[in-house]
Amino acid sequence: MAQGVTKKSAVRQPRGNLERSNQTIIIQVNPRIGDIVDSYLEHRNRDVDSLLDALDRGEFDHIRHLAHDLVGTGGSFGFEDMSLIGRSLESAAINKETEEIKLLVEDLAEYLSRVEIVY
């Protein structure tokens, strides 16, 4: 870390290519795995609530576990930005950065709301 810059003073950068906008995020998926991808996204939407519940209870290990799953699975289905959010979320959970976790969960929810699957 640069001298004179503390972790808390760093400017929060957008995760991956995710920028706050209303633009749809198009993800091309092989039709043969369409049902799996649809189910995967449903589970990730439920994860948003699970992450917020875990944060309310101070369960940072649970948050870290869910975030680690995002890192490992997001890219496998073509959701690179989801993996990047997961990586940042995992780090924030390890460091128990409550406010950063809230922001990242918002990023995840926004990302999921903008994703459109194209077969």
In a domain, 42, yes or no: yes
Instruction: Please give the pLDDT value at position 18.
Output: 58
Between CA 96 and CA 43 the distance in angstroms is 24
The total number of structural domains that make up the chain:
1
Q: Is the pLDDT of residue 81 over 60?
A: yes
CA 48 to chain centroid, in Å, comes to 9
What beta strand segments (E) does the chain contain? Answer: 25-28, 115-118
Band of the pLDDT at 12, cuts 50, 70, 90?
Answer: very low
Query: Is 60 a domain residue?
Result: yes
Q: Which amino acid is at 100?
A: E
Dihedral pair phi/psi, residue 97, rounded to 5°: -95, 85
**Rounded Cα gap, residues 112 and 17, in angstroms:** 14
Q: Is residue 104 part of a domain?
A: yes
Please check the confidence at residue 11 and state whether its pLDDT lies above 60: no
Q: Tell me the per-residue pLDDT of 16-65, one tens digit each, with 9 for 90 and over.
A: 455 556 799 999 999 999 999 999 999 999 999 999 999 999 999 999 99
- Position 10 scores a pLDDT of 34
| pLDDT at 114 (0 to 100) | 96
Tell me the average pLDDT across 102-118.
Answer: 97
Residue whose entry in the numeric block shows the structure tokens 């003073």 = 9
Structural domain contains residue 12: no
Structure tokens at 60: 């940072």
Question: Token pair for residue 96?
Answer: 């128990």
Owning domain of residue 90: 28-118
Tell me the two tokens of residue 63: 């948050």
